[in-house]
Structure 1
Amino acid sequence: MDAQRAGGACERRRRRVPGGRGRPARGPRGAEYVVLGCRAAGPGCPRRPRLRRCGRALASRSLPAADRAHRAPAPAPALFGCRAMALRRRLCAWQATQRAGTATLLAGPVDGAPQRADRIQGADRPGWGTLVKVAYLTPQYPKVSHTFIRREILALESMGHEISRVSIRPSDAGVVVDPADEAELHRTVVLLEAKGELLRSFLRSLLARPADVLGVLFDTVRRGLATGSGLVRPIAYVFEAAALVALCQAREIEHVHVHFGTNAATVAWIAGRLGGPRYSMTIHGPDEWDGPERHLLKPKIEDSAFTVVISSYGRAQALRWVGAEHAERLRVVHCTVDDPFFDAAAPLEPQQPMQFVCVGRLTPQKGQLVLLDAFAALLASGVEARLVLAGDGELREVVEARIEALDLGDDVEITGWVDEGTVREHLLASRCFVLPSFAEGLPVVIMEALALMRPVLSTYVAGIPELVVPGENGWLVPAGDVEALTRALQRVASTPVAELQKMGEVGAERVRMQHDVVVEAAKIDELLRASAADDPV
């Protein structure tokens, strides 16, 4: 590469470096940094070294009154620091290969795993100098079933972005059991915890921009009445959006990324219309597909900086609601599994007990009642087995009643809410993971089971067939079919342990290839940087 081209590339990457106004960020000796230098420039480029302190927790500082009403972020625990350092080592290795013109990534555990050349498609990425202050907005955070959001946030912070955690509602009391989620709980701003601030933020917006605010309020109410959302909910969205705008202004947040395209995405969309930062969202399903018009999916996708979907199936569903000119906004970024699952993987023992495990909320869409009927039929056929239902939810009393009616009290266990480590223990103690869902996006727990080398029995629903391949790493049955599920359970019970182990190994490799946390978070990173640089997505 000639010097002129290298210098031009480096100059472009000088834009929007927080804290430095184009100069290298500096700090006390011994602090942790990542190199964000120009990958296009050679070692001799005078502008190439550029350092930025790695963000773990948001820095505690004096904030305007609008922000002091919210929780102050707390320092991250040692658990987070260790995982952040591991991610940084992998990211630094990846950045080095990018500058060398390759597309290689450390795929496995950090300590000496072999490199793969097929983990990243394309080595041409936006400049590493464009960092973004981002608010990660969710309907409720932290939450037992949302550990993948925590992984994504941690990976982006390891890349240098400053991430504020923002939740619409507080976490359910007594439900957060994972130590890492406990740490996140104290770092999360909850909009509905400061209801007085909602009103003050709305009134300040109204006084500053009366015509715009009233126009947005009337339009939101009109859309809400037209889609059956009523009157109160749209008004609440506007108040929440005003509080979000105030928070973003107080923390100088440049971008809001939302997980789930439902109410939280509506708040971010309204916030943008009230003068807030640009926004993007990750659509998971199935709620968005059940009510796309009620959730205003079309205008939210069209007005977003970009929209992420977690599977090809999800992207196809989103394309049903937007015009072809917006198709490029839709990008597939998979949910991920972290290294602890791969590191904990263990082969099946020759005398492994015949245990099945189902991890998930006890809700109608997860299909636990169908599973109980099929499991009772399996036992009636003479197979000795045990079933663990790891989770809790609104259907628990109904599930317990079904267990009693089928006389399965000695063969089925309901654990209640469990942390990530306990989930791993239950998966490793089982021969097969079972999830007979009626509706899904692409369940992260399937990735976790496969990462632990346990085959999966699930249904032909949504994005599940993109990961579970019958005969290779698991079995698929039609959703709601008790007889088909019973036959599949019998096939699992009759399959030799050596064959189950081989299927698990194939599944683990498939998860490594498609759901690596560094690879998938890097896709979000690229989209954020391109959006910040006003480049087309």
Structure 2
Amino acid sequence: MTTTTPILYLVNEFADASVNNLLLSLIHKLDSTRFEFHVLGLKASGGPLESAFEESGAHVVRLGMRDRLGIGLVKPLSRYIHDHHIQIVHTHVLRPDVLGGIAARLAHCPIIISTKHNPSYTRQQPNWLLRNAVYWPTMYLPTHIVTVTELIRQQAINHLHIHPNRVSTIHNGIEIERFYRPDARKPLRDSLGFAPDELVMTFTGRLVGGKGLRTLLPAAQQVMSQYHHVRLMIAGDGPLEAELKRMAQDLGIAGRTVFTGFRTDIPQLLAASDLFVLPSGIEGLPLALLEAMAARKPSVAAISGGTPEVITDGETGLLVPAGDVQSLVMSLTTLIQDSAFRQRLAERGQQHVRAHFSVDHMITEHDLLYQSLAQRRDQQILVMP
């Protein structure tokens, strides 16, 4: 008789965020006859994905965090892990890493996994020094670490001296076909006021420090001064939105720049685009870049985190140094001038993402990891005196 393995995913809240969507993919695609899923939210508030988790068949619980740190949740969380015989606790972000790791240790959970999406917090992020002081020590709480890039894995091994057997790289994956929507190109361009002969450069993501947007706008201004058929689209919202709009006005490109605000129709926006640009200097493994390449858009990205694991320069996209306006101008100009080169990069980029960064590939890697850690645990139990 086969028994299911109870897995607990711990999240801050049920927001429509990339990590939560990743967990939904795991729950939908992993074999429900072998795994039983529990999703616990630390905060009392729900969120737009709470019902989606419930509909997936997972056991969904709000723990109701009442203080900023959530230390009071360690005991009830540990009790839940013990009472439901949880065999795997898997976390992804800092507060769940800390609280989940401590609670799982207290409950003697045999497998504790933490996925690290970035090497550290950067100066552009609030309380970065304090958060880093907590972030790195949490690497020692789990029994196994998953990193979304090989770069982060090597940092954990070389700088924190974590044994290589305790660290695996599993790249994030996306639904490739969801983002390839050539049928949506004309309707979206019409709705946004793009003429048929205009070339649209697009950025998607949060408008926050570290995303390279203060590099992008001056680069776009130089490009637009040479090519009058080029437009810029910035899709997303965030604290820098007003500043960036003023910057576009000061640079004289406000009339040729579209700020869409927050959008949920990213596949359609990418369909309306001609090339994608990600000048960010604070990436782990950027999903926005994967989405653009899946949409068959030639892409320019700053060298940061895992972007070199996604783009081979000149083959599947173009890489530029973060913060280098002139390098970005040169790469954008190359793509604008050479439509055949744009097409080659777009096709190769899409093929690369389909082969290495699909959601199915990511699911398979998680399934194999869960199985191997369970087998390793069973072998340790067998050899115990």
Counterpart code for 2:75: A
Contact preservation (8 Å) 1:359, 1:390? yes
More strand by share: 2
**Structure 2 residue aligned with 1:247:** 80
Deviation at 1:374, TM superposition (A): 1.0
Q: Map of 1:126-145 to 2, 5 A cutoff?
A: 131-145=4-18
Residue of 132, 141, 150 corresponding to 1:312: 150
Q: Give aligned pairs, total.
A: 359
TM-score, with normalisation over the residues of structure 2?
A: 0.83
Aligned equivalents of 2:18, 2:120: Cα separation in 1? 15
C-alpha distance 371-296 of structure 1, shift in aligned 2 (>3 A) = closer
1:409 aligned onto 2:254: yes
Per-residue CA distance 1:442-480 (angstroms, 9 max, x = gap): 101211111121111111111101111221121111101
Larger of the two Rg values belongs to structure = 1
**Structure 1 residue aligned with 2:22:** 148
Aligned equivalents of 2:252, 2:213: Cα separation in 1? 16
Deviation at 1:403, TM superposition (A): 2.2
**Structure 1 residue aligned with 2:200:** 355
Deviation at 1:293, TM superposition (A): 5.5
Q: What secondary structure does 1:410 align onto?
A: helix
Per-residue CA distance 1:176-210 (angstroms, 9 max, x = gap): 5xxx786248875333x364xxxxxxxxxxxxxxx
Contact preservation (8 Å) 1:309, 1:331? yes
Q: What secondary structure does 1:365 align onto?
A: coil
Aligned equivalents of 2:322, 2:121: Cα separation in 1? 20
**Structure 1 residue aligned with 2:277:** 434
TM-score, with normalisation over the residues of structure 1?
A: 0.61
1:386 aligned onto 2:231: yes
Residue of 457, 460, 482 corresponding to 2:325: 482
1:338 aligned onto 2:211: no
1:183 aligned onto 2:52: yes
C-alpha distance 252-238 of structure 1, shift in aligned 2 (>3 A) = same
Deviation at 1:271, TM superposition (A): 0.6
Residue of 346, 364, 367 corresponding to 1:522: 364
1:287 aligned onto 2:129: no
Residue of 104, 112, 123 corresponding to 1:272: 104
Per-residue CA distance 1:509-534 (angstroms, 9 max, x = gap): 11122112222222222222333341
Q: Map of 1:457-472 to 2, 5 A cutoff?
A: 457-472=300-315
Contact preservation (8 Å) 1:352, 1:430? no
C-alpha distance 339-381 of structure 1, shift in aligned 2 (>3 A) = closer
Counterpart code for 1:155: K
Per-residue CA distance 1:22-59 (angstroms, 9 max, x = gap): xxxxxxxxxxxxxxxxxxxxxxxxxxxxxxxxxxxxxx
Residue of 314, 325, 345 corresponding to 1:503: 345
Q: What secondary structure does 2:30 align onto?
A: helix
Aligned equivalents of 2:258, 2:354: Cα separation in 1? 31
Contact preservation (8 Å) 2:276, 2:292? yes
1:167 aligned onto 2:41: yes
Contact preservation (8 Å) 1:151, 1:336? no
C-alpha distance 167-367 of structure 1, shift in aligned 2 (>3 A) = farther
**Structure 2 residue aligned with 1:209:** none
Deviation at 1:159, TM superposition (A): 6.9
Q: Map of 1:196-275 to 2, 5 A cutoff?
A: 236-260=69-93, 262-275=94-107
C-alpha distance 536-462 of structure 1, shift in aligned 2 (>3 A) = farther
Superposed CA RMSD in Å reads 3.0
**Structure 1 residue aligned with 2:355:** 513
Aligned equivalents of 2:98, 2:284: Cα separation in 1? 20
Alignment gaps of 5+ in structure 2:
123-127, 187-195, 381-385
Per-residue CA distance 1:231-270 (angstroms, 9 max, x = gap): x86xx3432222322333454432210113x222111111
Counterpart code for 2:27: I
Contact preservation (8 Å) 2:180, 2:296? no
**Structure 2 residue aligned with 1:84:** none
Deviation at 1:362, TM superposition (A): 0.7
Contact preservation (8 Å) 1:157, 1:163? no
Deviation at 1:172, TM superposition (A): 9.1
C-alpha distance 140-404 of structure 1, shift in aligned 2 (>3 A) = farther
Aligned equivalents of 1:328, 1:536: Cα separation in 2? 15
Aligned equivalents of 2:42, 2:344: Cα separation in 1? 44
Counterpart code for 1:166: L
